[in-house]
Amino acid sequence: MKRIILVVLRCIFKLPYWWFYKLKQYQNKEKYPTIDEGYQFIHNVADEIIKKARVDLECYGLENLPQENGYLITPNHQGLFDIVAVFKTHDKTAKFVLKKELASTILIKDVVKTLDYYALDRSNIRDGAKMVKNVSKEIEAGMNYVIYPEGTRSKQGNKIGEFKGGTFKIALKSHCPIVPVAMIDCYQVFDNNTIKPVKAQIHYLKPIEYDEYKDLKTPEIAALVQSRIQACMDEYC
């Protein structure tokens, strides 16, 4: 919480401009029919937030990202900083699937509205099925998506929670590459009550192509992706 307050104080004069002018501007779909400009704006804001938060973010593996758009990014989930880290390091436009509770919080809800993110009600089975259908179609059309297979942040530091198989129905339906992403020490940024400088890492791992997982069941795909991320964390933690 202290670091969030630090960021707010250090950006106090920019926040109203960012949230009450620029985000509203990019919500004008007649002037901005795609989310590309809005995404790049948030990308730049993330860079500013990281600097003001006194975070040294190390990024590895950008060369592993597929050249063609239309892939599924599946990071482990450590905390509030994870989304900022992806925004900062992933230049290509991408959408997120977020839990409904997070998508309705102050500031986040404006980003969700601007970038047309998917707010998922995890208690609603129909909403889950609808999400899989809609997100799969968008990926097939060339949109990149970020979803957290754990379903919630682990709250256990660098320990990964169990990846849920349902996440990977999207991949099976859209036949897209899956990009595992290892988040390391990201929990220390906003989830520890300190403002001391911190280091965090984000690793984009080699994509898992459709031919590699097409004959697997969704829990097996989840286990495969989790094992790739765990191997990276074992090496770098």
Q: How confident is the model at residue 93 (pLDDT cuts 50, 70, 90)?
A: very high
Distance CA 133, CA 149 (A): 17
pLDDT of residue 42 exceeding 70: yes
Q: Given a cut of 90, is residue 206 above it in pLDDT?
A: yes
Cβ-based neighbours of 149, under 8 Å, separated by 6 or more: 74, 76, 163, 164, 167, 168, 222, 225, 226
Tally of domains in the chain: 1
Are the C-beta atoms of 50 and 198 separated by less than 8 Å? no
Mean pLDDT for the chain overall: 93
pLDDT value of position 52: 96
- CATH of residue 93's domain is 3.40.1130.10
- pLDDT value at position 103? 63
Query: Residue 21 above 90 pLDDT?
Result: no
pTM: 0.94
Residue range 38-50: mean pLDDT, rounded: 95
Residue 135: domain span: 2-236
